[in-house]
Amino acid sequence: MKAFITGSYAYGSPTDKSDIDLVVLGLAEDLKTLMAVSGHSEELYRDTQSVSLRFGKLNLLFCLSLNAYQDWYHGTEELKGRAERLGPRPRDEAVEVFSTLRQARRESERKDEVAEEELCFK
């Protein structure tokens, strides 16, 4: 299992009320166990690559795919770099960074699928 901290503790301004965001790459059976303990439904992750589970102040961002984990990792590293240069980064900026990374990955995956289909028809 791989894990790292993201969110305000990594690149923002945490307060006493802040939760701790922990990104984890794991297996589906581990997620099922965690969902059962946290009271979440299995329906929650049927078509997603990452799931947010709360355990008190811990927000566990559980990734089922390496791509989702890498999106979180690269976004966190980008925001940490910005925080070093510019100071703590706001949540809305983080949302934009992660959204842009996910969109770029999806577009790349679509292009790969189209290229594979084209090869099949040649």
Residue 54: closest CA among 37, 30, 76, 32: 37
The mean pLDDT value for 28-52 works out to: 79
Higher-confidence residue of 88 and 1: namely 88
CA atoms within 13 A on the CB side of 82: 16
pLDDT of residue 46: 54
CA atoms within 13 A on the CB side of 11: 26
Kindly indicate the confidence band of residue 59, based on its pLDDT and cuts at 50, 70 and 90. Answer: very high
| pTM, full prediction | 0.83
For 43, the token pair is 């329906």
